[in-house]
Amino acid sequence: MQDTTIAVDLAKSVFEVAISNEPGVVESRHRLTRSQFARFLEEQPAATILMEACGTAHHWAREAEALGHVTRLLPPREVRPYVVGNKTDRADAKGLLEADRNEDIRAVPVKSVEQQALAGLHRLRSGWMATRTARINTLRGLLRELGLTIPTGASRVVPYVRTLLVNDGSPLPESLRTSFAAACDEIETIERSTRQLEKDLTGISKKSAALRRLRTVPGIGLLTATALVAAIGDPHRFPSGRHLANFFGLTPRERSTGHTRRLGRITKRGDPYIRTLLIHGARSVLHHAKAEPEPDALRRWGLAREQAIGHNKAAVAVANKLARIAWAVWSKDQDYVSMA
């Protein structure tokens, strides 16, 4: 480990840098622009670079590592308690130095370009789906005000509105027709873009053995598998499947003291997007388990939990189990084998 530690408070254009050669002591500070910071990394002897795991952090971490530095990305949630006084760039940089002295704070692994590309595809799809849902709900609401009700199902909205647009005798006001047509065009464009994005994800999954193995797990499909790879990268950073489930906030919150142990609701820490995908996958497992004449051990366990604690809690419990199974097949490089 390098003796010099450099804490960097990242920003869009101005970076606050604090250099420390002794724990708890800031030797010098610098306020650098983006280009100045790049030159600073090149000119600085090999050191330990501290940054919060926020926007652009993985890019700068890769740049620093290419120049021989050791990088540590700390979770912002863990750094905040070490910021003393008002929140400023100087205080944030000093807080990074103090947080790094806590051995219980685990650094976030630096993501590769491939991981960030996968994550980017998911963010685009998530944004498109949110926009599509908003447009569909807007059309439904406006038509309901006119006494027109569309049957349940997102796929029925655009055909129904198209029928109203081509029918001159429909109760849809003339002043709304152009805007409604544009909304339908936008929804169809989003759906085409989403289908193409999913084809790109399918092409990526065919080239990856890890993705293929993850998709053998019940309840884990294309989206969940690629999201896991984008977020985790290397499963061996977790010593067990329970640690992976905990990383996504699927383990109970604990408030214990003495001989009394209290377990509450799940912690909901980590990435909410992947946690949602895992829970949706668990709901799918429970749904298909009821239709199978002889469900396997995983599905029987899920159905038993559903009868004991209800559907929603059982779905979260199954999601926890899926996360552990995913870690096992991924880390051991083996396909999932169901047990009778």
Output phi, psi for 26, to 5 deg. Answer: -95, 115
Low-confidence ranges of the chain (pLDDT < 50): 1
Q: Is residue 105 part of a domain?
A: no
Q: Which residues of 171-184 are buried (b: 16+ CB within 10 A; e: fewer)?
A: ebeeebbeebeebb
For residues 184 and 162, the answer to whether their CB atoms sit within 8 Å is yes
The whole model's pTM is what?
0.90
Which of 206, 233, 254 is where one domain is finished? 206
Looking at the fold, whether 202 and 213 belong to one and the same domain comes out as: no
Looking at the fold, whether 96 and 10 belong to one and the same domain comes out as: yes
- Per-residue pLDDT, 139: 97
Looking at the fold, whether 190 and 221 belong to one and the same domain comes out as: no
Looking at the fold, whether 51 and 85 belong to one and the same domain comes out as: yes
Question: Rounded to whole angstroms, how far apart are CA atoms 47 and 113?
Answer: 23
Question: Rounded to whole angstroms, how far apart are CA atoms 169 and 178?
Answer: 16
> Who contacts 124 (Cβ-Cβ below 8 Å, separation ≥6)?
197
Instruction: Give the number of domains in the chain.
Output: 3
Tokens, residue 160: 């129904």
Q: Is residue 222 part of a domain?
A: yes
Looking at the fold, whether 263 and 156 belong to one and the same domain comes out as: no
Q: Is residue 337 part of a domain?
A: no
Which of 164, 182, 206 is where one domain is finished? 206
Output phi, psi for 296, to 5 deg. Answer: -75, -175
Q: Is residue 73 part of a domain?
A: yes
Looking at the fold, whether 269 and 321 belong to one and the same domain comes out as: yes
Looking at the fold, whether 218 and 310 belong to one and the same domain comes out as: yes
- Per-residue pLDDT, 259: 86
Looking at the fold, whether 183 and 266 belong to one and the same domain comes out as: no
Looking at the fold, whether 57 and 159 belong to one and the same domain comes out as: no
Tokens, residue 3: 């003796």
Tell me the pairing of strands 263-266 and 5-9. unpaired
> Who contacts 57 (Cβ-Cβ below 8 Å, separation ≥6)?
10, 51, 73
CA dihedral 174→175→177→183, nearest 10 degrees, is -170
Q: Is residue 21 part of a domain?
A: yes
Which of 172, 206, 240 is where one domain is finished? 206
Tell me the pairing of strands 70-74 and 5-9. unpaired
Element (H, E) at 28: strand 28-33
Q: Which residues constitute the domain of residue 178?
A: 113-206
Looking at the fold, whether 167 and 223 belong to one and the same domain comes out as: no
Q: Is residue 151 part of a domain?
A: yes
How would you class 60 by CB atoms within 10 Å of its CB: exposed for 0-12, middle for 13-18, buried for 19 or more?
Answer: buried
Question: Rounded to whole angstroms, how far apart are CA atoms 266 and 246?
Answer: 9
Q: Which amino acid would we find at residue 52?
A: E
> Who contacts 202 (Cβ-Cβ below 8 Å, separation ≥6)?
222
Q: Is residue 19 part of a domain?
A: yes
| Polymer length of the chain | 340
For residues 241 and 130, the answer to whether their CB atoms sit within 8 Å is no
Percent helix, strand and coil across the chain, each to the nearest 5: 60, 10, 30
Q: Is residue 106 part of a domain?
A: no
- Per-residue pLDDT, 263: 87
